[in-house]
Chains A and B, each alone.
Chain A
Amino acid sequence: MLEPSLLMAGLDPSALPQQLLNGLMFGAIYALVALGYTMVYGVLRLINFAHGEVFMIGAYTALFVSWQSGYFQGAQGLQRANNPGILILMLLASMIVCAVLGVLIERFAYRPMRKQPRIASLITAIGVSMLLQYGGALVLPVSPPRSILEEVNPYDGNHSISIKPKDAALQTAFTDAQARQKTADAALAAQIKLEGVSSEFDLSEEGKKVNSAALDARDATRGAKNNLDNSGMSLNVPYGQGIMFLTTLGLMGLLTYLVMFTKTGREMRAVAHDFDSAALMGMDVNRIVTITFVIGSSLAGAGAMMCATFLGTQLTSFVGVPWGVKAFVAAVLGGIGNIPGAVLGGLLIGVAETVVVWAGGSQYKDAIAFVILIFVLLVKPGGLLGSAKVEKV
């Protein structure tokens, strides 16, 4: 454990905006997955533990589609084929497969249990989740170490956004230092050539002096570069993650439109408000539940595809567990059953995790989501945007 003062000394404030941005991008994926949890909970009052495994299948679907469409494993790992159309194909395939899987799980595992106590449905959900994890381990490959990141992702590289321009005086100092280093390096090279030795360690007294001058010049350049970099502030957005974030926002917009402004959306809200009354009003609740699973699962599929492609998560059949748990925490944090709450919770957890890593507590990264959750629930038992009410287990 570090002393608190040491811990504070290690913090680099200029890196914080970048970390916050990274956190938002991670958080967007948590939010996408959390939407699935919160929608299913809103309609059925069921914690859909198999949601993380739907996410896992979505990620694998993306992997298989990429293999089928030209990103194949060759002698040097995955071969690249620059075609963004394939990314769209991967996204759609993941969303469709996940939607089908979600509906199947609902139809065959949850619907028969609907009249039973909720804890029985919960155990069924845990069972389905374990079945998919361990069953998946039998047939699914463990993805190659580089996953489908970068090699498949044609949008390599960063987009740099400057927040504060770099100091002009420091810029001149850096250029000067660079020039001096060039001279010193040339002198060293000339000295090595003059003495006819292959290594700079075998030099004479005079040569050693030249050598140390060259090393000093290199240090000075490095220092000047650091000063220069710290004087300005810029954000680097990897293109892939930028696309991911924008796609996520687009999907959330679509979801908001669907839930708030369509007839189906109104029915969904009615069923979420009161299942039995909605049925009495003549709504086909089974249809609404199916649609809810289609939407929730396909959002998880979209999140999984983007996570596998742009974040480079290594795929195993257990990859859904950490994502599923954190997304669930995000959903509860925002107030489970509440759609804006899930987005808020997801972004909050993404940011909190990167801030913890930035502050030097990377080993506590996985705990911070729960810590925030517990403190929020102590103050506001219904989550940030939810409302608490007495209910029976």
Chain B
Amino acid sequence: MRFWAVRLGSIGLAVAGAFAIGMLAQNSGNTVSRLIALAGLYVTLAVSLNLINGITGQFSIGHAAFYQVGSYTAAFLASQLVARGIITTTGMPISWVLVAVIAAAVSAGLAGLFIGLPSLRLRGDYLAIVTLGFGEILRIIIQNTNELGGSYGINSPKAFVVPYVWLLAFLCIAVCRNLLQTAHGLTFLSVREDEVASGAMGVNVTRIKVAAFVIGSAFAGAAGALLTHNEGFINVNSFTMDVSFIILTMVVLGGTGSITGSVVAALALFILPEILRDAPAMPLNAILGSLVGIALLVGVIRLAMDNKGLGREVMGARLWLGLGVAVGGAIVVSIGTNFVPALANRTIPSAELRMVIFSAVLVIMMLLRPQGIFGHREFGLGKLFPKEVKA
């Protein structure tokens, strides 16, 4: 009884939550609505890559490829439907969007199977480069296929998909979470921890790896279909290596294997560049100065982290010294920049600056917290209300 109450309650909450986000998006402007949809897509991508990378331990760095397969499947389907006069170019009925999502998930799942099969033989970095290569080959083939818009891109009818984007994200989270709660999920974890040992314990390593690839890429493909109908126009530049790297970064920064970590990191890493888009232009010397200062500061903190054993007074003195060096370095660099003719008195618009800040934050985060925000742990409501343990 309690089981079903919790299940139905969770499902009801997820649907209500997705549609509440949809309402919110509908009431805000076009730009904000688009960002809310993209944020949801990134959550799905990060959590689905986490299944392959964090939970099963298969080193895939080409997740954008499956996103691309799904996206182009939906776009191709829509172009065929338009050509047959079933739908118009002005808008896509939601029922057809859902068909497109399923088709995209199936085709991306098949692509995952296609990539997952060689993964039986390849391990570690070799698998990584194959997944990366698959994405690049796919991108170049699509670029040269006129039926898919070539290098220009392909138009598809738009639809309001925000609630479905978030519903997909919740579904993806639920699948991964529930997988980990069952005996099936333990086999995935065991493959990550030790392939040889889990094989010896009777786990079908091959089947687990392929299953992880197929499930993860199917979710990425479904996300791709929603991207197509959210944007109304896609081209291959939306699926470059950088996108794969950013999704991978979300997984690692959140803590490999941690679903909540992936969600939080996906949201944070998606929102950060968007906030920076509106940042004011800054003088170059201040930027360089603060970069150097922060780099020195990070170095000092790392030193403190590595030398915990030293006495408090020694460490305190060193920290102050380090802080002084960091501030001094920042000031020296920012003043020194003015003496270099090519660099003096330049201001940098925020559009050029945001990726610099993004990558700097990334490096600093990794140096200060290498295990990711959540490590291997999860964060849930249970953490806020710890159960009382009877002695």
B130 in the interface (beta carbon within 8 A) = yes
Number of interface residues of B (CB under 8 A): 59
Interface stretch of the complex, out of A87-95, A135-143, A180-188, A195-203: A135-143
Q: B356, A131: Cβ atoms under 8 Å?
A: yes
The reply to whether A123 and B140 contact each other, CB–CB distance below 8 Å, is no
Q: How far is the CB of B361 from chain A (nearest CB, A)?
A: 9
- A285 at the B interface (CB under 8 A): no
A390:B122 contact, CB within 8 angstroms: no
Do A367 and B125 touch across chains, with their CB atoms under 8 A apart?
A: no
Closest B residue to A383 by beta carbon equals B126
Closest to B253 in A: A123
A391 touches B359 (CB 8 A): no
Q: Could you list 15 examples of A-B contacts with CB < 8 Å?
A: A41-B125, A109-B367, A113-B367, A120-B252, A120-B371, A128-B363, A329-B133, A336-B125, A367-B136, A374-B118, A374-B133, A383-B126, A388-B121, A392-B57, A393-B192
Residues on B close to A: CB < 8 A?
Answer: 53, 57-59, 118, 121-126, 128-130, 132-134, 136-137, 140-141, 143-144, 192, 194-196, 241-242, 245, 248-249, 252-253, 256, 284, 287, 291, 295, 299, 302, 306, 342-343, 348, 352-353, 355-356, 358-360, 362-363, 366-367, 370-372
**Main SS of the interface on chain A?**
helix
The 7 closest A-B pairs by CB, nearest first: A370-B133, A130-B359, A127-B362, A127-B363, A116-B370, A134-B355, A131-B359
> Given that A138-B287, A364-B140, A374-B134 are known contacts, is A130 also in contact with B362, CB under 8 Å in the complex?
yes
- Cβ A137 vs Cβ B130 within 8 A: no
CB distance from B184 to the nearest CB of A (A): 21
Task: Given the known inter-chain contacts A108-B299, A139-B343, A377-B122, please indicate yes or no for A130 contacting B358, CB distance below 8 A.
Answer: yes
Q: A142 vs B354: C-alpha distance in the bound complex, in angstroms?
A: 20
Per the bound structure, the CA–CA distance linking A112 and B248 in Å amounts to 21
A381 touches B140 (CB 8 A): no
Q: Are B59 and A119 in contact (CB under 8 A)?
A: yes
Query: Closest residue to B120 on the A side, CB-wise?
Result: A381
Kindly state the separation between the CA atoms of A371 and B130 in the bound complex, as whole angstroms. 9
Known contacts A112-B306, A133-B359, A392-B195; 18 additional CB pairs below 8 A are A41-B125, A113-B370, A116-B370, A120-B366, A131-B363, A332-B125, A336-B125, A367-B136, A367-B140, A370-B134, A370-B137, A373-B129, A373-B133, A381-B123, A381-B126, A390-B196, A391-B123, A392-B57
Across-interface contacts of A364 in B (CB, < 8 A): 140, 144
Q: Are B358 and A393 neighbours in the complex by a CB distance under 8 Å?
A: no
Cβ-based interface call for A328 (8 A): yes
- Chain B residues near A393: list those with CB within 8 A: 57-59, 124, 192
* Chain A residue with the shortest CB-CB distance to B136: A370
- Chain B CB within 8 A of A4 CB: no
Please, which residues of chain B bring their CB within 8 A of the CB of A127? 249, 359-360, 362-363, 366
A123-B249, A130-B355 given; A381·B122 CB < 8 A: yes
- Which A residues fall within an 8 A CB radius of B? 41, 47, 108-109, 112-113, 116-117, 119-120, 122-124, 126-128, 130-131, 133-135, 137-139, 141, 321, 325, 328-329, 332, 336, 363-364, 366-367, 369-371, 373-374, 377-378, 381-383, 388, 390-393
Closest residue of chain A to B361 (Cβ to Cβ) is: A127
Contact A117 to B256, CB < 8 A, known contacts A373-B129, A374-B118: yes
Contact A119 B356 (CB under 8 A): no
Known: A130-B362, A364-B140, A370-B133. A392 touches B58 (CB 8 A): no
Q: Is the CB of B129 within 8 A of A123?
A: no
Closest to A135 in B: B356
Alpha-carbon distance A321/B295, docked complex (angstroms):
24
Q: Is the CB of B363 within 8 A of A109?
A: yes
* Shortest Cβ distance from residue B207 to the other chain A in the assembled complex, whole angstroms: 18
| A371, B137: Cβ atoms closer than 8 Å | yes
Complex CA–CA separation, A364 to B139 (angstroms): 10
A residues near B371, Cβ cutoff 8 Å: 116-117, 120
**Other-chain contact of A134, B58, B132, B253, B359 (Cβ < 8 Å):** B359
Q: How far is the CA of A131 from the CA of B125 in the complex (A)?
A: 23
- Known contacts being A108-B299, A130-B362, is A138 close to B348, with CB within 8 Å? yes
Contact: B59 with A123, CB < 8 Å?
no
A47 & B128 in contact (Cβ 8 Å cutoff): yes
> In the complex, what residues of B have CB within 8 A of residue A123's CB?
248-249, 252-253, 362, 366
Give A144 to B372 CA distance when docked, in angstroms: 42
Known: A127-B359, A381-B121, A392-B195. A328 touches B140 (CB 8 A): no
Per the bound structure, the CA–CA distance linking A116 and B366 in Å amounts to: 10
* B123→A390 contact, CB < 8 A: yes
Q: In the complex, are the beta carbons of B133 and A138 less than 8 A apart? A: no
Asked if A374 and B136 sit within 8 Å, CB to CB, the answer is: no
Expressed in whole angstroms, the Cα–Cα distance for A276 and B125 within the complex equals: 21
Q: Closest chain A residue to B144 by CB distance?
A: A363
* Cross-chain contact A120 with B355 (CB below 8 angstroms): no
Q: How far is the CA of A217 from the CA of B137 in the complex (A)?
A: 49
- Please give, as numbers and ranges, the residues of chain B lying within 8 Å of A370 by CB-CB distance: 132-134, 136-137
Q: Which residues of A contact B144 (CB under 8 A)?
A: 363-364
Contacts of A141 in B (CB 8 A): 342
Q: CA–CA, A113 to B123, complex, Å? A: 22
What's the nearest-Cβ distance from chain A to residue B340, in Å?
9
